[in-house]
Amino acid sequence: MMVRFYLRRRRHLLVAAMLITLALVYYQAIYVQLTAIDSPKSLQNNPSENLSDEYYATLLRGLLRQMDKNEELARLARLSLPTAKNTHKAAAAERRIFADQCSAVHDVSHNKASLQVTSLIEGLPFEIGHGGKTQSIFPGLQPLPFEERLRVLLIPHSHCDPGWLDTYTSYYTRQVRPLLTNLYEWARDHSDFTYVYAEVSFFKLWWEEQGEEVREGVRKLLKEGRFEFVQGGWVQADEANTHYFALFNEMLDGHDWLKANLPEAMPKSGWAIDPFGLSPTMGYVNKLFGLTGMHIDRVHYRVKTHLAVNKHIEFLWRQSWDATGETDMLTHMNPFPGYNSENTCGPDRNVCERFTFYNRNGRVTKVTPENTKDQSELILSQWRKKAALHRTDTIFIELGDDFTYTKKEFVADIYDNYTPLMKYINSEPSLNTEVKWGTVTEYFDHVRAHGVDKIPSLSGDFFTYADKDADYWSGYFTSRPFYKNLDRMLESALRRTEILFSFTRLGASLADLQTARQALSLFQHHDGITGTSVRKVVDDYGNILYNAYQSCNIITALAIQHLLNHDTLFSPIIKRARFNDYDRYEVLLGFQELVLANTLPRDTQSVRLVAVQADRSVAIRGEAEGHVEQQVEPRIEYGEVILDSNYVVFEAEVPSVSLKTYQMEPVTNPKAVAKVELYNTDAKTAESMKENFKTEHYDSETCPDIVLGFEEGPGVSLTIDCYSGRLKAMRRGNLAMGLDQEILLYQGDGGAYLFKPRGAPLQQLNPSDRPRITVVKGPVRHKAVVYIREMLVLSYTVNLVVETEFVELEVLTNLQENGDLVVRFKTDIFNRGSLFTDNNGHTIQQHRYKEKLKVQGNFFPMPSTAFIQDSSRRFSLLGAEPHGAASLDNGFIEVVLDRRYTATNDHRGLPEGIKDTLPSPARLRLLLEPHPALEAQEGYTVEYPSLVSYRVLQTLQHPAWVGYRGAEEEREEEEKQEEGEEKEEEEKEEENHEKEEGSKQEEK
């Protein structure tokens, strides 16, 4: 049976699938903006039935050039055409592009931003000893002359982490609840006081506890502009590891809650003061959500200094594809290191510390009538030095830190001390300065009033962040990969569930779905997905994600049951017993019905598998096509052969946004049994394998190269050394690439945040090693499993019938040694030191190897994609979960798989190392493609993924959900049958016993 959702006539259902419970006018406005950006204007205004194939090819390329790669939006761009004829024409053009294997366009010149971060870094010195929280930043900086008017805005804030050293709920109870109350009550009672706040996840909890009087008081402050929400996301999201889907979801959860409960609070300004490096994707998302300016902080200290001394701390952040400036986001960067008061008032930290009145740390000098003049002039000297780095006459000073104002006297401290300073400075004409309490939006209003025509535009990202010396925050790109993988599983499950839910509107599941959305949003916090919290918080995140994932599976099953009009639920074929376990295939008894749910906006052909008891022979049959291409192969999980069950691997083709069922049915002999090849394996294992599979056992001294895939033709082939299990070559069609692969361990002094290697990495897979290798070859796929040691297992898969463009690599790790474990690919591609990685699955960023940045400074975030290329070939690594990636030599590309540091602390606030490593499967797809010659390889280039890589990545990140039903009924039937057989045997035994007794009596 196949159920297809006919979206051409029901476009609103697809919108509902994206919006789920948030299908509101507010989001639809953003949705229209996205569609408008992604679709050529001529197509929006006057779609024609007679457009050429080339135009549709341009459209398809354009969708990816814009890089807002939202599958539903791309589909809607097509579905907006008036006739099915045009949709088919677009599909034909797409097929032609894929057949030609064209890479997406590269461009050297169309982005006209006046500052390119990549180019800027090329010319900067990176001497050890600069940066960090030193006592004086910008020595010799002269203050703004008193002849020039200055306006200073004081902005109280409190940075609140929804999980770090304590859990989200504990932080709220102990710290966030009192600080929100204290700030509100002080502003209520003091009409000149203002403050800002960012994290909606915490504010929601506080709001739900308040009575109507307090709620009206908050609304009054908002209307008066004395309380401002900045950013307005569910959390303050990490920008290195997150995918744009989750970033958008996190912002939508926060803004939707505000719109429903406090429409007066809709943010106008962004606020990213603690993410450890910054991505242009966040500026793009902010602009789509109606924000008109954003404040950022954590930028590499040398880059920050360079921008500041050139008065570039305000810039228009532009997307890489933008040639006109339509994506420009007005951005302000704090020129000093840190977002707390002692690091934001001016360049001299030892002076600023004296005005951090809420600290009460002994270094604070309280303001008295006797010292008001001296204190005023002292702090004003810092403010005017800071103003000398600005282009306008207005600056703002952040007054706050992590979880500030938990006691009311802390609020009183800043108010009672800054008030006399303000009064003195404002009343002294010679100082030519106005000081007042203010907000971030007020600051940006002043900047715009001053004029933005002289503010430079900037393109690029701010990775990799360093706060001093060679202390690069590149460790968190990979820290705790198990949870990064769980995050992406939930992200895919939530996307699928929202789409299926939109077709059924199962009211009983609405609250669960909202909870799942908020769980995903919570984990995007910059101490969540980064893996930089203490263990109890990480465990708490794990349970939250796992429960949300389970809820999505339940809602998916209910939706499918409703759509197929079945009386029983389908169960997921892959199950996880608890959050810190790994996935296992449910072993089926045979004869079940399977269902595949494809929620991608295109037809998918994939290779899927089910686990079946070894004593059962089954075949997979589709309703229309009959028996599909399939093979039976040994069940190998995490390097170990499971003898009591096998895998049935089959080809599945499911149309776009559809359900399709397959039947498992008994057969006397399976259609195709895979051949097994064993290398470096003991004879006992070989003998046990021969019972069910044709097996060749190769001598460890003499064996041929292992070749997976196609010996010739357009598909992929991979050559593996039979002795060491290392790669030797990769070919795709007429493209060939020399290839070696190493497993390495960097050792050093890192921690959850920092990567600080010492010396050369240690080989974990030497050419002289003899790991156990199991090779499976059938008509559907070839697979090689290289068992290096327990919990370090490599699996290579090449498909033969569908999805033949790539090699799939899965690396199972559970690191027990201190260090960073990486897989390095050494190719013959002449990439000249350039590495390309994605920003949040949204744009591609070029990086060049720079020896002056040390090894750790040349690792960059890889949320989903990394590639190297030369004038004819591109080699891509496409990931199911985020990693750190680097290209440290010509033709090299490497990815960090796991990290463990039990004895070291990188002294960035986390009081423990990374000790809680778990078995983590890293899933990568290796893609070799043709690449057009680059005339300006030495220069900065804007690159895009090819359409092939985009499709390969889609099915990796959003595979079809597979469920089964019929197991319970079958088990009950078998139990009844077994009970009947046992009863029959008992009756026979009793009858025999009676006969024996009768015979004995007769003899007597």
The catalytic residues are: 274
Give the strand pairing for 394-399 and 604-613. Answer: unpaired
Tokens of 628: 């599909």
Pairing assessment for the beta strands 457-459 and 314-318 based on DSSP bridges: parallel
Torsion of CA 325, 327, 328, 331, to 10 degrees: -170
DSSP string over 280-297 = HHHHHHHHHTT--EEEE-
Q: Which residues of 74-87 are buried (b: 16+ CB within 10 A; e: fewer)?
A: bbbbbbbbeeeebb
What is the C-alpha separation between 79 and 661, in angstroms, rounded? 26
What is the H or E stretch that residue 335 is in? none
Type of residue numbered 137:
I
Place of tokens 């960035």: 908
- The H or E element spanning position 353 is none
Cα angle, residue 412 at apex, residues 407 and 418 outer, rounded to 5°: 140
Task: Dig out the tokens for 564 from the structure.
Answer: 């197929």
Quickly tell me which residue has 């006592």 as its tokens: 135
Which of 103, 72, 85 lies closest to 5 in space, CA to CA? 72
Do residues 416 and 355 touch, judged by C-beta distance below 8 A? no
Query: 921, 841 in Cβ contact below 8 A?
Result: no
Give 23's DSSP letter: -
Question: End-to-end distance of the chain based on CA atoms, in angstroms?
Answer: 70
DSSP string, 510-532: HHHHHHHHHHHHHHTBTTTTT--
The answer to whether residues 606 and 955 touch, using CB atoms and an 8 Å cutoff, is yes
Beta-carbon contacts of residue 665 (< 8 Å; ≥ 6 apart): 591, 618, 619, 621
**Beta strand 865-869 pairing with 860-862:** unpaired
What's the CA gap between 22 and 45, in Å, rounded? 28
Q: Over the range 282-309, which residues count as b (16 or more CB within 10 Å of their CB) and which as e? A: bbbbbbbbebbbbbbbbbbbbbbbbbbe
Q: Which helix (H) or strand (E) holds 388?
A: none
Task: Count other C-beta atoms under 10 Å from residue 988's C-beta.
Answer: 10
Euclidean distance between CA atoms 748 and 746, whole angstroms: 7
The dihedral through the CA atoms of 953, 608, 551, 601 has a sign that is positive
Provide the CB-side half-sphere exposure for 862 (13 A, CA).
Answer: 31
Cα–Cα distance, 707 to 724 (Å, whole number): 14
Token duo for residue 172: 């709220």
The DSSP secondary structure of 750-800, one letter per residue, reads --SS---B-SSPEESS-TT---EEEEEE-SSEEEEEEEEETTEEEEEEEES
